[in-house]
Amino acid sequence: METYIDIVLFGFLILTAVAIMRLSNLFAVVILSGVFSLLSAGLFVAMDAVDVAFTEAAVGAGITTVLMLSTMALTTREEKPAAHSRALTLGLALIIGAALLYATVDMPPFGAADTPANTYLSTDYIERTYEDMGLPNIVTGILASYRGFDTLGEVVVVFVAGIGVISLLHARTKPRGKKDKQRGDA
């Protein structure tokens, strides 16, 4: 059953990506990019990577979508014609995709019990988390202590993105107020 969910989510990701490539309306592209991020978050949840899914949903679907919509308010809604050949872009995408597929050949199967992460790290975390920190929740112990710098980095990314959104929205509202005052004085 889980395999079917993964296949359906991945299929929706492909359909969304194709739709994004085919559209020239930037508003629709931004909204579909947010949908793509939400589908990615769902796929991460299906792979039991809830912390990555949370970050993808918050940054990818949430903050990035707001930033892009704010940027669109300052630009046009339609894409300008490409100055280069689409065949070049497609060829480059196919080459990069083939290289990525080639790189995954040597990877162990997902969730295989004999991988280093499942052989050494997980058993060590399970055995030592409570005695090292006194926390009964292993995930909290891993995220707060063992992967503390990684978690701090994720929080900093979300914080900086939030500051960026606030800055963009604040910068957008200032000129309007000045223009309105100038119009009222005239």
Instruction: Give the Cα separation of 89 and 167 in Å (integer).
Output: 33
Task: Identify the pLDDT of residue 95.
Answer: 96
Where residue 1 falls among pLDDT bands split at 50, 70, 90? confident
Percent of the chain with pLDDT over 90: 20
Where residue 175 falls among pLDDT bands split at 50, 70, 90? low
Quick one: average pLDDT of 54-69?
Answer: 86
Task: Identify the pLDDT of residue 186.
Answer: 47
Strand partners, 2: none
Instruction: Give the Cα separation of 70 and 27 in Å (integer).
Output: 11
Task: Identify the pLDDT of residue 100.
Answer: 92
Quick one: average pLDDT of 116-137?
Answer: 80
CA distances from 51 to 30, 44, 46, 185 (A): 24, 9, 12, 53
Instruction: Give the Cα separation of 108 and 119 in Å (integer).
Output: 13
The one-character DSSP state at 113 is: T
Quick one: average pLDDT of 13-36?
Answer: 91
Percent of the chain with pLDDT over 70: 91
Task: Identify the pLDDT of residue 74.
Answer: 78
Task: Identify the pLDDT of residue 184.
Answer: 52
Instruction: Give the Cα separation of 66 and 101 in Å (integer).
Output: 32
Task: Identify the pLDDT of residue 161.
Answer: 79
Q: Which of these, 154, 167, 175, 157, lies nearest to 71 by C-alpha position?
A: 167
- Highest mean pLDDT pick, 7-21, 63-77, 139-153: 7-21
Task: Identify the pLDDT of residue 14.
Answer: 94
CB contact at 8 A, 143 and 51: yes
The 10s digit of each residue's pLDDT in 82-108 is 777 778 888 999 999 999 999 988 888
Report the mean per-residue pLDDT for the chain: 81
